[in-house]
Structure 1
């Protein structure tokens, strides 16, 4: 099982505080990439109150396409002022199967951390197996 939930505020630079032609071009490229991902899950890029946002979420059986971490890395490269979080629960990851991982996008970099509020999954989210 691979569960993920995330959001990104898309910004050209960290000092970006208004709409620009360059930002519109970046968003156009991101829209093409998102359309090519053809995700059956939540994957939405829209403008709200003059700013572009990406929202995503899904629960496929295995970590596969769409590669949502790769999307975060791509946004970091093309729009380094962007920021956001991606929470992931991957029970097939041998090193982190009992943890919710959070990928943080900030200042052009994506870093990975343990989500302390939801980890360890057992007993925080699930009861221990008995038997």
Structure 2
């Protein structure tokens, strides 16, 4: 089983002086289109909402087997919207080659880059969450 839980704030720039509403609107439309057309899988929820002028993306995914398209989507967002930031928690019990079957991995998005990090809050899955 693989599970993804995450969020991102969608911004076109990480510098206030580089803010551009036209660019932000274009980015939001691209993300909405990708969700609608390319990410129409079962067992997945993507929600992009504007709250108080800020775009919030929520991601919830649960599959029986490993899939990479969610991480690829997260990386793509970082590429097209350098000011976006967020966290994607991943628990993959099939990640045995890297020894992560009992751990969460954290994918951090900031300043146009996505980095995989070790989790310190929920790992190891057993005994922190399960016994």
Global fold match (TM > 0.5)? yes
Inter-CA distance 115–8: structure 2 relative to 1 (3 Å threshold): same
CA RMSD after TM alignment: 1.6
2:128 to 106, 124, 128: 124
SS in 2 for 1:29: helix
Structure 2 unaligned spans of 5+: none
Q: TM-score of the superposition, structure 1-length normalised?
A: 0.90
Could you tell me which residue of structure 2 aligns to residue 43 of structure 1? Answer: 46
* CA deviation profile, 1:70-90 (whole Å, cap 9, x unmatched): 111001100010000000100
Normalised TM-score (structure 2)? 0.90
Q: Which runs of 5+ in 1 are unaligned?
A: none
CA distance in 2, matches of 1:39, 1:52: 23
Structure-2 residue corresponding to 1:11: 11
Runs of at least 4 residues off by over 6 Å? none
Residue 74 in 1 paired to residue 87 in 2? no
Q: Are positions 1:105 and 2:106 aligned together? A: no
Report the number of matched residues: 126
